Amino acid sequence: MDDVQLDGMLHVAFLRSEHAHARLRGVDVAAARRRPGVVAVYAADDLGDYWQPGPLLVPPPPIPGLVFHACTQVPLVKDKARHVGEPIAMVVAESRYVAEDAVADIVVDVAPLQAVVDLEAALERGAPLVHEHLSSNLAAHVVQEKGDYNAAKATAHRVVQRRFHYDRGISAAIENRAVAARWDARAEELTVWDTTQAPIPIRNGLARMLGLLESQVRVIAPFVGGGFGPKIMMFYPEEVLVPWAAMRLGRPVKWTEDRQENFTATTQERGQVHDAELAVTRDGKILGVKDVFLHDSGAYDSYGLTVPINSQCTLLGPYDVPNYYTEFTAVFTNKTLVTPVRGAGRQHGVFVMERLLDFAARELGIDRLEIRRRNYLAPEAFPFNNEIIFQDSAPLVYDSGDYAPALAQAAQMIGYEQFVREEQPRLRVAGRHVGIGIVSYIEGTGIGPYEGARVTIEPSGEVRVATGVGTQGQGHFTSFAQIVAEVLGVPMERIHVVTGDTREFNWGTGTFASRGAVVAGTACHAAAALVRDKIFAVASRVLQVPQERLELVGGRMMVKDATDGGIELGALAARANPLRGAVRPGTEPGLEATAYYGPDRGSTASGVHAMIVEVDPETAMVEIRRYVVVHDCGRLINPMLVEGQIHGGVAHGIGNAFYEQLVYDDGGQLQNASFMDYLLPTATDVPRVEVAHRETASPLNPIGLKGVGEAGCIPTGAAFAQAVEDALADYGLEITEIPLSPDKLFDLLKKTRPKKRNVVVIDGSFVFQGSREAVYALLQDPEVLGKSLPGAMHLGRTGDGRYDGLMRVGIGPVTAAEFSVSVTLHDQKPPAGYGMIVEGKGGFGFVRGTAQVALADHGDGTEMTYRAEVQVGGTIAGVGQRLLDSVAKRMTRQGLEALNTALAARL
């Protein structure tokens, strides 16, 4: 957008609040106005009646009992600054350099106030108020219910309860926002270039604000450098002010956001805290879910409740959840506004649900895949009504889906069974921490209200397609051209698509909610179909042949079975627009048609993501070794574009999972407002993504489309958390927070990490004379284990995989240290291996260790490889590392030989 350079253009810089929360007592712009090269400086009072709070973009859906306080952003701060980066004054000058100099000339008199930052503290009695006309910082409160969760919980075998945190990030389109405007006084026309994702609503809103006819305003959203959601916030203060200044000053005016501004002035997303619980039967069937969460709205809630409602609705995922209680409180804070960022609240729901399923699976001893399989909606369950209201105000009804085969395909692609049974045990024994994560999700896409398109065949034979959605790199030009080419049988090269210019098409909403291809694409399809009808009607008249004897071949109307003759579409278009004669009543001139598509509700895309990670527990760095996506967005228009969307989404999701987090201090100051401190994933952080498509057609539109734009980043955090946790199984840590980061993971590890000193490592291999199955069975037998574990006196099985007993060990001067021990086996994968946690306590100190055991065929026998890390504390630790090592090795060898003897006796 910044490429727009016009003669006489002026440049804008903004003075922005340095305080998150401050009373504004005065703004002195006199010195700034005096600076040579400055044309105008405006503070709030200079705007007169033009100063108005912005519109409420999305009114809340009709949910009974819903509470919503609309507090929308203002063009320039008048009385109180509510977040760092909120604009206070606007400087218009001959160059951006001069404008920025003049910003430094402005003197602001402010009284800082205590900032509202933490979501829970914000709701406490006596907390400072972001909006003082309200009695608290509560922005909204919504409860949605299906069935009776409490009744379901009462019958549950187990209830899994956790608290989950999800924090903020930026959208990080590489092109920042920009607005330029030119008022042509002679034509009485305002032209606005804007990086918006929604040029038509911007046009309509500007016309209203500026007192112009909609037809007097042309908004062009040129090839925008990435959108990802925040470019559809309406209206940003800059979008309101730049066109106003251009009209007032009679010169073109441009403002281009810089990256530092982008960090505080462009909207953000993802701050939520969930207290969630999952009630399950003994075999892992979901009885119900309860989720109560706080949602960070930021300083204003102009975008309504789209994000938290998406979280509520997406949590249910592809699962049959008969009872659901979901309640959220949206909270005003002194932080940048929250509006949708790619995923738009959906990832929170997926994270909560998938994590709860993971914890339930672990507690119930059910495989991660199996618990998901047991709860998927069956393919015949569709359309499936979830009995709650979605963000588009329609009931949340899934149109179609087929979930279990996608899971099976992802598991097969990533080699789930082979990994958990063979590779992971082998690598664990080698001391490596590798893990796998596999999760499911759904995404509500392609919502209304509508989009439209006009298709025109010009006399040259070229085809023009115009639609209203903006384009930020999604490939609309290609996909819309493909749709039209297929209907009209015209080569792609002859189709010219225009998007995002209100002069070309001025009905529609915009590019958001993974809806461009579904809604505008379907409108293109419908318009092309109408043109096709016209082609047949006109050709029939011109060629004097009934329509049923005509066919459309390669851009030419032909009589069936004729080898020559016919008429080119261009020539036909000319015949349809005669200079003499009459256009018959009931027909229209030209080969042109406009059509609209407005779905009653969205279509539901779905998918499975799986990844394999390796974690270095010393540095807490995570390397993603494999990444597999099985995705179902209905019928594919263009697989290459769909894959591109998924690749980018996954990269964004990886950023959100491990690298990107906006860190605010207690004063509401953003601590990492640059790309030096806020880390976007780079080419070395993002793995190759292996994508497979499934095509469960949507019954809601004629092509069967579902959306894909946001899908890639929705389940990534959940898959990442599961994989990292799996890789660190021996640490027993739980990940309930996203973004994770190397330092946060390091802290988590430190809490559970065995101390470096007095750690005895026991590793090696041993060949048993027996089959893997026999060896594995032997290792489960408490009697055998008791005899062979060095120094074990008694050992009894106290639960599945758990053994308790007594052990006596002599080490150096400590001749008979007695311990009560417990041994827990985990990750049991018969006959490939298992993990073991040993804990011992006694008067002489303690022993705590983890071990990995892997069994592999070795000729007729079985080779066992093992690695244990044992931490020793108390008196026995005082004997020194060397002695501990030698005792450990001796005892291990004795134990293994005893086991082999026991095996020989049993065989």
Partner 1 sequence: MEPRLLLSDFLRQDLGLTGTHVGCEHGVCGACTVLLDGEAVRSCLILAVQADGHEVATVEGLGSVEDLHPLQAAFRQAHALQCGFCTPGILMTLVPFLDEHPNPAESEIREALSGNLCRCTGYQNIVDAVKLSTPVPAGW
Question: Using CB under 8 A as the criterion, what x/- string covers residues 706-735 for binding partner 1?
Answer: ------x-----------------------
783 touches partner 1 by CB under 8 A: no
- By CB under 8 A, is residue 607 in contact with partner 1? no
Binding flag, residue 51, partner 1 (CB under 8 A): no
Contact segment (CB under 8 A) with partner 1 among 49-57, 154-162, 224-232, 428-436 equals 224-232
Q: By CB under 8 A, what part of segment 85-104 binds partner 1?
A: 96-97
Could you tell me the smallest distance in angstroms from the CB atom of residue 679 to partner 1? 10
Query: Which amino acid belongs to residue 173?
Result: A
Residues near partner 1 (CB under 8 A), total:
43
Q: Binding segment for partner 1 among 274-282, 641-649, 772-780, 852-860 (CB under 8 A)?
A: 641-649
Q: Which two tokens stand for residue 394?
A: 């329609």
Q: What is the dihedral of CA 773, 774, 775, 776, to 10 degrees?
A: 50
Prior bond to 754 cis, omega within 30?
A: no
688: contact with partner 1 by CB under 8 A: yes
**Per CB under 8 A, which region of 161-169, 221-229, 267-275, 819-827 contacts partner 1?**
221-229
Question: Nearest 10 degrees: CA dihedral of 185, 187, 192, 193?
Answer: -120
Q: Is 544 in the site for partner 1 (CB under 8 A)?
A: no
Identity at 263, one-letter amino acid code: F
Q: Is 318 in the site for partner 1 (CB under 8 A)?
A: no
Quick one: tokens of 18? 């340095």
Among 104, 154, 640, 904, binds partner 1 (CB under 8 A): 640
Report angle CA 728, 850, 852 to the nearest 5 degrees.
Answer: 80
The number of CA neighbours under 13 Å toward the Cβ of 721 is 33
Q: Is cis: bond before 222, omega within 30 of 0?
A: no
The answer to whether the CB of 630 falls within 8 A of the CB of 646 is no
Query: Under rule CB under 8 A, which residues in 142-171 are in contact with partner 1?
Result: 171
| Binds partner 1 by CB under 8 A, chosen from 37, 222, 226, 782 | 226
Peptide bond into 766 cis (omega under 30): no
Q: What is the length of the chain? A: 907
- Chain-centre distance for alpha carbon 182: 37
Given the complex with partner 1, which of 253 and 785 has the nearer CB atom? 253
Radius of gyration of the chain measured on its C-alpha atoms: 33
Cβ–Cβ under 8 Å, residues 757 and 625 = no
**Measured distance CA(865)–CA(654) in Å, rounded:** 34
CA distances (Å), origin 578, targets 456, 556, 586: 16, 19, 16
The β-bridge relationship of strands 158-166 and 138-146 is unpaired
Is there binding between residue 175 and partner 1 (CB under 8 A)? yes
Q: Which residues pair with 498 in a beta bridge?
A: 466
Q: In angstroms, what is the minimal distance from the CB of 173 to partner 1?
A: 6
CB of 68 to partner 1, least distance (A): 32
State in angstroms the smallest separation of the CB of 674 from partner 1.
6
Out of 42, 228, 325, 659, point to the residue binding partner 1 (CB under 8 A). Answer: 228
Among 155, 587, 671, 682, binds partner 1 (CB under 8 A): 682
Contact status: 172 vs partner 1 (CB under 8 A): yes
Instruction: Single out the residue of 173, 466, 469, 727 in contact with partner 1 (rule: CB under 8 A).
Output: 173
CB 14, min distance to partner 1, A: 16
Pick the stretch among 70-78, 427-435, 640-648, 728-736 that binds partner 1 (CB under 8 A): 640-648
By CB under 8 A, tell whether 5 contacts partner 1: yes
Q: Choose between 22 and 170: whose C-beta lies nearer to partner 1.
A: 170
Q: Do 453 and 441 form a contact (C-beta atoms < 8 A)? A: no
Which residue among 259, 541, 575, 848 contacts partner 1 (CB under 8 A)?
259
Contact pick of 116, 122, 224, 490 for partner 1 (by CB under 8 A)? 224
State how far Cα 906 lies from the chain centre.
Answer: 55
Interaction between residue 641 and partner 1 (CB under 8 A) = yes
- In 429-544 the beta strands, taken as DSSP E runs, fall at 433-445, 451-457, 463-467, 495-499
Of residues 504 and 643, the one with the C-beta less far from partner 1: 643
- Determine contact, residues 192/179, Cβ cutoff 8 Å: yes
Nearer to partner 1, 229 or 304 (CB): 229
Min CB(223)–partner 1 separation in Å: 7
Q: Quote the least distance from Cβ 448 to partner 1, whole Å.
A: 26
H-run or E-run covering 346: helix 346-364
**Rounded least distance, CB 178 to partner 1, Å:** 11
Q: Work out which of 649, 801, 835, 840 binds partner 1, going by CB under 8 A.
A: 649
Q: How far is CA 856 from CA 98, 153, 264, 459, in A?
A: 73, 44, 56, 74
| Cis, peptide link before residue 383, omega less than 30° from 0 | yes
For CA atoms 768, 770, 776, 778, give the dihedral sign. negative
Token match 């799996």: residue? 726
Cβ 284 to partner 1, closest distance in Å? 34
- Alpha-carbon span 896 to 707, nearest angstrom: 58
Q: How far is the CB of 540 from partner 1 (least distance, A)?
A: 41
Pick 481 or 527: Cβ nearer partner 1: 481
C-alpha distances (whole Å) from 257 to each of 85, 173, 238, 670, 784 are 12, 12, 9, 17, 72
Least spacing, CB of residue 713 vs partner 1, in Å: 10
For strands 189-194 and 217-220, give the pairing.
Answer: parallel
Question: For partner 1, which is the closer residue by CB, 51 or 477?
Answer: 477
- Shortest Cβ 643–partner 1 spacing (Å): 8
The DSSP-derived string for 771-808 is: -HHHHHHHHH-HHHHHHHSTTEEEEEEEETTEEEEEEE
125 lies in the binding site for partner 1 (CB under 8 A): no
**Sole window of 540-548, 585-593, 618-626, 646-654 interacting with partner 1 (rule: CB under 8 A):** 646-654
For residue 168, the minimal CB distance to partner 1 (Å) is 17
Q: Which of 185, 213, 579, 676 binds partner 1 (CB under 8 A)?
A: 676
By CB under 8 A, tell whether 513 contacts partner 1: no
State residue 791 phi and psi, 5-degree precision.
Answer: 80, 0
Could you tell me the smallest distance in angstroms from the CB atom of residue 687 to partner 1?
Answer: 9
Work out whether 243 is an interface residue with partner 1 (CB under 8 A): no
Q: At residue 83, what is the residue type?
A: H
Distance (Å, rounded) from C-alpha 399 to C-alpha 386? 11
DSSP 843-874: TTEEEEEEEEEEEEEETTEEEEEEEEEEEEES
Q: Which two tokens stand for residue 778?
A: 């032997």
Out of 674, 752, 881, 894, the only residue in the binding site for partner 1 (CB under 8 A) is 674
Instruction: Provide, rounded to whole angstroms, the least separation between the CB of residue 624 and partner 1.
Output: 12
**Which string of DSSP letters, residue by residue, matches 323-388?**
-EEEEEEEEE-SS--B---TTTTHHHHHHHHHHHHHHHHHHHT--HHHHHHTTBPPGGG-SEEEEE
The reply to whether 648 sits near partner 1 by the rule CB under 8 A is yes
> Candidates 220-228, 397-405, 418-426, 484-492 — which segment interacts with partner 1 by CB under 8 A?
220-228
CB of 308 to partner 1, least distance (A): 25
223 binds partner 1 (CB under 8 A): yes
- The residue from 493, 683, 743, 882 that contacts partner 1 (CB under 8 A) is 683
* Rama region for 461: left / alpha / beta (φ>0; ψ in -120 to 50; rest): left
Q: Which of 788, 794, 786, 814 is CA-nearest to residue 887?
A: 814
Q: Which of 113, 233, 350, 686 binds partner 1 (CB under 8 A)?
A: 686
Residues 456-485, interacting with partner 1 (CB under 8 A):
472-475
Interface residue list for partner 1 (CB under 8 A): 2-3, 5, 96-97, 171-176, 223-226, 228, 258-259, 472-475, 640-641, 644, 646-652, 674-676, 680, 682-684, 686, 688-689, 712
